[in-house]
């Protein structure tokens, strides 16, 4: 298996924020699968969903997973909320699930800086009920594929980094 760390979990749980903080602290590079897809296609995620649909976006996620598995090592990777469905997740690295209740995630996003923009750029976060339904469908799946589960709710970044280090014995 490759020496990457892969952060999975629901939209808005803080995968990118934690991945970047962890990378910085451990002198590693951090990349994000949505960013990779946007640079690969030269289009925004929202636009890809609108013009080509979700199925095509999932194909792009698989293509990204193949590229990561083949080319990337020693990197901290944050993923889109549905990336965990790719068929070679475990080949990419150690899978860390960031776990929190839906309402905590929803409020985190709602109360964040640029909240409107952050919600708007996520086509599957259209409404509270839509997003909650998706969360309920996925929450068991995230646990199933995870090597490590990190409870993130209400914790400061320093605490999260400490817990993650302990779990990884970094």
Question: By the criterion CB under 6 A, which residues form the site for ligand S3P?
Answer: 11, 34, 45, 80-82, 122-124
We find the least distance from the C-beta atom of residue 43 to ligand S3P, in angstroms, to be 13
- For 68-94, b/e burial (b = at least 16 CB within 10 A) is bbeebeebbbbbbbbbbebeebeebbb
We find the least distance from the C-beta atom of residue 163 to ligand S3P, in angstroms, to be 21
Asked if residue 68 lies in contact with residue 23, where contact means CB atoms within 8 angstroms, the answer is no
H or E segment to which residue 89 belongs: helix 89-92
Sign of CA dihedral 69, 71, 75, 78: negative
We find the least distance from the C-beta atom of residue 61 to ligand S3P, in angstroms, to be 7
The residue whose Cβ lies closest to ligand S3P is: 80
Minimum CB distance to ligand S3P smaller for 25 or for 123: 123
We find the least distance from the C-beta atom of residue 82 to ligand S3P, in angstroms, to be 3
Minimum CB distance to ligand S3P smaller for 35 or for 147: 35
Closest by CA position to 138, among listed 89, 93, 65, 81: 81
We find the least distance from the C-beta atom of residue 120 to ligand S3P, in angstroms, to be 11
Minimum CB distance to ligand S3P smaller for 80 or for 93: 80
Asked if residue 80 lies in contact with residue 8, where contact means CB atoms within 8 angstroms, the answer is no
Q: How many CB atoms lie within 10 A of CB 57?
A: 19
Closest by CA position to 99, among listed 133, 162, 45, 141: 141
């Amino acid at each position: 298996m490759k020496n990457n760390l892969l952060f999975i979990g629901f939209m808005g749980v803080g995968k990118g924020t934690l991945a970047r903080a962890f990378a910085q602290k451990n002198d590693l590079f951090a990349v994000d699968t949505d960013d990779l897809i946007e640079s690969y296609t030269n289009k925004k995620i929202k636009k890809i969903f609108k013009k080509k649909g979700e199925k095509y976006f999932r194909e792009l996620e698989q293509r990204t997973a193949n590229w990561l598995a083949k080319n990337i090592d020693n990197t901290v990777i944050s993923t889109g909320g549905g990336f965990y469905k790719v068929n070679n997740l475990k080949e990419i690295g150690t899978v860390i699930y960031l776990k929190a209740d839906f309402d905590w995630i929803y409020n985190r996003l709602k109360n964040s800086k640029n909240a409107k923009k952050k919600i708007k750029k996520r086509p599957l976060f259209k409404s509270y009920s839509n997003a909650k339904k998706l969360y309920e469908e996925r929450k068991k799946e995230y646990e199933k594929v995870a090597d490590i589960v990190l409870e993130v709710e209400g914790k400061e970044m320093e605490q999260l980094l400490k817990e993650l280090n302990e779990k990884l014995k970094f």
